Amino acid sequence: MPRPPFHRILVVDDEDYVRNAIRRSLRKEGYELFFACEPSEGLTVLRENKIDLVISDHLMPNMTGLEFLKIVHDRHPDCMRIMLTGHADMQTAIDAINQGEIYRFLTKPWDDTELKVTIHLAFEQLELMRENRRLMTAVRRQYDLIKSLEREYPGIGKLVRDADGAISLDRDTRPSTPETH
């Protein structure tokens, strides 16, 4: 699948060095990177930019990562969410998955390769979803077209076959065909 250039990633973490490390790890992956040191700043970035993926810490000042990702889910449903935290207790993970509907739950310390692969897979899924949505839209558009044609030319959408199974193109037989109604 062809990857559109510059997928946009937002990293929210209150620790400078963590943001630096992620910046370096992802620098050569061909993404456009955004950073925020706390959730409210992250929400501002989300409003002003079309972000495809959010990677968030959990324990941060003023708001937890879980609360933040829930807001992201509500306001930007088309955005993938990954949690990256050192506070790896079971309850946080369960809540993040059930309430924040996150794509992955990663723990600190993380493996750079795993992080990259996860991001890559997330974008694949995102693209699939977008493709799906795009196809669905096309199908609906075509269906609407057929419906309007049918209204204009009743019976045009119906396929009439004769006794041999061949498609009959005889216009005169059309009104007597029971299938038209």
Partner 1 sequence: MTAAPVLLVLQGEPPEPLVAGLSEAGVQFRRVSAQEAIRVSTSAHLAVCARVPAWQAVIARVYLGGGAAVIWGPPVAPLESRGLLPPHLEAVEDPAQLIGALRRAKERSLAAGNPQQLSEKLLERVESAERISRFAQSIATRIDLPDTIQEAIRRTRELCDSDGASLLLVDPASGDLFLDTVSGPQSQNMQSFRLRPGQGIAGKVAQQATSCLVLDARQDPDFDPRGDAATGLSIGSIIAVPLLQAGDVLGVLEAVRAARRRPFDPEELRRLEDLAPHVTIAVHNAQTNARLREFQLQLVSANSDLERKVHERTKQIRNATVEWERTFDAIEEPIALQEGFVIRRANIAYAKEVGLLITDVPGQTCHKIMAGLDSPCQGCPLPAGRVGELRGEFTMKSQSRLLLSGFWMSPHSTDNRVVVHYRDVTKQRSLEERLRESERLAALGQLASGAAHEINNPLGFLTSNLQNLNYCLEELRMTSSLATKALELLRADRSLEALKALEEIQYLEGESAANDGLDMINESLEGARRVGDIVRGLRELSRQEIARGEPCCVNASVTRVVRTEFGEQPPNVTLDLQAKIRAEIQPLQMDQVLGHILRNARQAIAGDQKVAVRTWNTDTEVIIQIKDEGCGIPPENLRRIFEPFFTTRGVGKGIGLGLTAAYGIIKRNGGWIDVQSAPGHGTTVTVKLPGAKPQEAAHQRTSAVALPL
Q: Is 17 one of the binding residues for partner 1 (CB under 8 A)?
A: yes
Where does this chain touch partner 1 (CB under 8 A) — which range of 10-18, 48-56, 74-82, 132-140? 10-18
Q: Residues 36 to 65: which contact partner 1 by CB under 8 A?
A: 59
Rule CB under 8 A: choose which of 24, 47, 75, 151 binds partner 1: 24
| Helix or strand (DSSP H, E) at 139 | helix 112-152
Q: Is 89 one of the binding residues for partner 1 (CB under 8 A)?
A: yes
Nearer to partner 1, 29 or 131 (CB): 29
Q: 107 forms bridges with which residues in the sheet?
A: 85
| Helix or strand (DSSP H, E) at 8 | strand 7-12
Give every CB contact of residue 70 below 8 A, 6+ residues apart in sequence: 99, 100
Q: Is 180 one of the binding residues for partner 1 (CB under 8 A)?
A: no
Q: Is 30 one of the binding residues for partner 1 (CB under 8 A)?
A: no
Within 88-155, strands assigned E span 104-107
Going from the C-alpha of 105 to that of each of 58, 84, 108, 120, the distances in angstroms are 10, 6, 10, 15
Going from the C-alpha of 89 to that of each of 14, 29, 94, 105, the distances in angstroms are 19, 30, 9, 11
Q: Residues 106 to 135: which contact partner 1 by CB under 8 A?
A: 107-113, 115
Rule CB under 8 A: choose which of 8, 14, 41, 126 binds partner 1: 14
**Footprint of partner 1 on this chain (CB under 8 A)?**
14-18, 20-22, 24-25, 59, 84-89, 107-113, 115
